[in-house]
Amino acid sequence: MKFFIDTANLAQIKEAQDLGVLDGVTTNPSLMAKEGITGEANVLDHYRAICDIVDGDVSAEVISTDFEGMVREGEILAALDEKIVVKIPMIKDGVKALKYFSNKGVKTNCTLIFSAGQALMAAKAGASYVSPFIGRLDDISTDGLGLIESIRLIFDNYAFDTEILAASVRHPMHIIECAQIGADVITGPLSAMEALMKHPLTDIGLATFLADHAKANS
């Protein structure tokens, strides 16, 4: 299972990279805005800076919603670095753009997936990744993890190469359940990954080991 971090914050990306378990980064226009990155030149520079930190795939999202615009933007993004994956929204022109980039051998991530039908269409168009947003589905009392299960079944039935990138992950249980279901990738905040390492019995056990060692060696 791959771990992507869902942020445009360079310090957090570096921290996750230094942990040694990071496989990539996902960003979106809201995350870029949150870091105060505005204007095309600054946005492109920021993607270059992210690519300099990580070893794996870096999803960079197009802003256009028409086919020509998505192709134009996607080509500029893809030319930045071989790690760039062009992130395209699940809309009709987006499906055409996924097919265009798939034919050209450019990796894509189809974002804003909220149904199995959308994931199937993206896979048919040759998307490298589909991003079902499980947290946002949970937010409206819908079964986010159930969607991952449905997509897993469909992709396995037909041996689609498209990877399931569980997005909008909010907490460690999302990651564990995605791993049980068989999502290929999760993307979420650093806090969710760090929480996987925590257990109170680990802390108590370590404190006891260190105290016993100190007593025996005093």
Compute the distance between CA of residue 95 and CA of residue 157 in angstroms, rounded to an integer. Answer: 21
Window of 67-75, 119-127, 131-139, 197-205 that interacts with ligand E4P by CB under 6 A: 131-139
By beta-carbon proximity to ligand E4P, the closer residue of 78 and 206 is: 78
Catalytic residue among 87, 104, 107, 198: 87
Least spacing, CB of residue 139 vs ligand E4P, in Å = 8
- Sign, CA torsion 36/39/40/45: negative
Compute the distance between CA of residue 84 and CA of residue 87 in angstroms, rounded to an integer. Answer: 9
167 touches ligand E4P by CB under 6 A: yes
168 touches ligand E4P by CB under 6 A: yes
Least spacing, CB of residue 8 vs ligand E4P, in Å = 9
7 touches ligand E4P by CB under 6 A: no
Contact 82, 115 (CB under 8 A): no
Least spacing, CB of residue 56 vs ligand E4P, in Å = 14
172 touches ligand E4P by CB under 6 A: no
By annotation, the residues acting in catalysis are 87
| Contact residues: ligand E4P, CB under 6 A | 6, 26, 28, 111, 131, 133, 135-136, 167-168, 187
